[in-house]
Structure 1
Amino acid sequence: MYTPKGTLDRDAQLRQYAPLVHRIAHLMIARLPASVELDDLIQVGMIGLAEALARYEPSMGVQFETFASQRIRGAMLDELREADWLSRGSRKLQKDIEGAIHRLEQRLQRPPRESEIAEELGMTLAQYHEALSRLRGTQLVYLEDLGNKGEDEEGFLDRYLPEDRDADPERLLADQRMRAALVEAIAKLPEREQYVMSMYYEHDMNLKEIAAVLGVTESRVSQLHSQAVARLRAKLREH
């Protein structure tokens, strides 16, 4: 992609790789609170793409898309780190839902239904669904978070969108144990929630794509995702 003068056409390259930015933004948005706008992520991601185009050299030994994906995601995370978009109220609501699920599982010896969780929380079913929608993304399971007791002592992104920490052998071993527990916990989710988790995490499908498969709205998929992760967090905190 060169201009008539023989120089690289940056605009054409940006257009070519813009779908990569959109893909990363759509995958990331489901992991973030509803206050985060998709368009904002895309705009920041395009800046990351432009930086990747300016800095990439074939001699680096990696494919451009791999290099660009890292720069795009990094730009999005840097922007999110500068914003204060997770309230203490949201954290409390998250913990309340996890606690309700844990208590019900202990009493019922089975996964509780949505109506039962709502009743345990003193909410109507509609209020519970609204709460799940507000918590979109704030409950995503990360192994580092599940092993951390002092949640309020570090930033949200440090727990939920962590950097690569594989260099720590002790942490890696703990992660391997937690992954085994996670696989077991996912197998015990209600069937529809298993489908959502599988399509999102194993097949990299976004909320719109999952909604089309299940025949529900994107909002409902978001609720099912939040509820599934709340169940997993409640279960995995036992490990």
Structure 2
Amino acid sequence: MYTAKGRLDNSSLIKQYSPLVRRLAHQMVAKLPANVEVDDLIQVGLIGLTDALSRFDAGQGVQFETFATQRIRGAMLDELRGGDWMSRGARRQQREIEEAVRRVEQRLGRPAAEAEIAAEMGLPLPDYQDLLTKVRGTQLVYLEDMTGAEGDDDYLDRHVADDGANPMSLLQDHRMREALVQAIKNLPEREQFVMSMYYEHDMNLKEIAAVLNVTESRVCQLHSQSIARLRVKLRDW
């Protein structure tokens, strides 16, 4: 697309390729914790698209969409790294919560109450709830769950950048889907509501908080706890 002066019409091209940005943002956010907003990734992706338009050289023999995809994805990953979205310490704390959930539920044979999980971790209930807010719910399936211990390579590169290594592809397995559906059905009722509204109805934390008449921070806690319960069940599977 060119202007009347024979120059590339960047405005038209941005409009044409903005659906690509949105698609990449939604693919990426599905692998990230709840605090990462898709709108933020879209805004950063549009900057990456603009950069791709300014740098593209048709003489290189690469299709523009391929070149732009790399630039857009790269801009999103740079933003996530710069924001320190998920520290190793937070991932370790999430696993500590999961282990406490597993021990309590194995002992009691039912979903563990928040106070019971807190007691298992040796924490007062308010401190445990603060911890749930801090970890903010990690992703449902980690790559290291299937490949062994986590190494020193970049977490985002392993979990987000390479679609071929996407751990969520495991959920395409029919038995895995059945296990996940059953695990969600066994969640406490309020946590079921949160998971349904967040993943099925694509509602954000603020919207869910309004429906449940609780604070956004409380929704975040419920989401984090739900993810911990589900990961315990899926690891058993």
Give 3-state SS (helix, strand or coil) of 2:164's partner.
Answer: coil
Given that 2:185 and 2:192 are in contact with CA atoms closer than 8 Å, whether structure 1 keeps it comes out as yes
Once the two structures are superposed, the pairs formed by residues 71-90 of structure 1 within 5 Å of their partners are 72=72, 75-81=75-81, 86-90=86-90
Shift in Å, 1:131: 0.6
TM-score (norm 1): 0.70
Change in 2 beyond 3 A, CA 1:172/1:13: closer
TM-score (norm 2): 0.71
Counterpart residue number, 2:222: 224
Amino acid at match of 2:197: M
Shift in Å, 1:44: 2.1
Counterpart residue number, 2:235: 237
Identity %: 55
Shift in Å, 1:6: 9.3
Show CA shifts across 1:101-123 (max 9, x none): 00001001011011111111111
Given that 2:49 and 2:71 are in contact with CA atoms closer than 8 Å, whether structure 1 keeps it comes out as yes
Shift in Å, 1:216: 1.8
Given that 2:105 and 2:112 are in contact with CA atoms closer than 8 Å, whether structure 1 keeps it comes out as yes
1:147 has 2:146 as partner: yes
Given that 2:133 and 2:221 are in contact with CA atoms closer than 8 Å, whether structure 1 keeps it comes out as yes
Amino acid at match of 1:28: V
Change in 2 beyond 3 A, CA 1:8/1:226: same
Give 3-state SS (helix, strand or coil) of 2:187's partner.
Answer: coil
Once the two structures are superposed, the pairs formed by residues 1-239 of structure 1 within 5 Å of their partners are 10=10, 24=25, 28=29, 31-32=32-33, 41=41, 43-51=43-51, 72=72, 75-81=75-81, 86-137=86-137, 139-142=138-141, 144-158=143-157, 160-161=159-160, 163-165=162-164, 176=173, 177-239=175-237
Change in 2 beyond 3 A, CA 1:131/1:159: farther
CA separation in 2, counterparts of 1:205 and 1:181? 24
Change in 2 beyond 3 A, CA 1:126/1:205: same
Amino acid at match of 1:209: E
CA separation in 2, counterparts of 1:29 and 1:115? 30
Change in 2 beyond 3 A, CA 1:183/1:29: closer
Change in 2 beyond 3 A, CA 1:128/1:73: farther
Shift in Å, 1:143: 5.9
CA separation in 1, counterparts of 2:31 and 2:80? 14
CA separation in 2, counterparts of 1:10 and 1:187? 49
CA separation in 1, counterparts of 2:169 and 2:161? 14
Show CA shifts across 1:39-91 (max 9, x none): 97465233134357777xxxxxxxx9xxx999755531243356755433223
Change in 2 beyond 3 A, CA 1:196/1:40: closer
CA separation in 1, counterparts of 2:69 and 2:9? 20
Show CA shifts across 1:128-180 (max 9, x none): 1111111114x21126343233124543224543632289xxx9678514333
Give 3-state SS (helix, strand or coil) of 2:210's partner.
Answer: helix
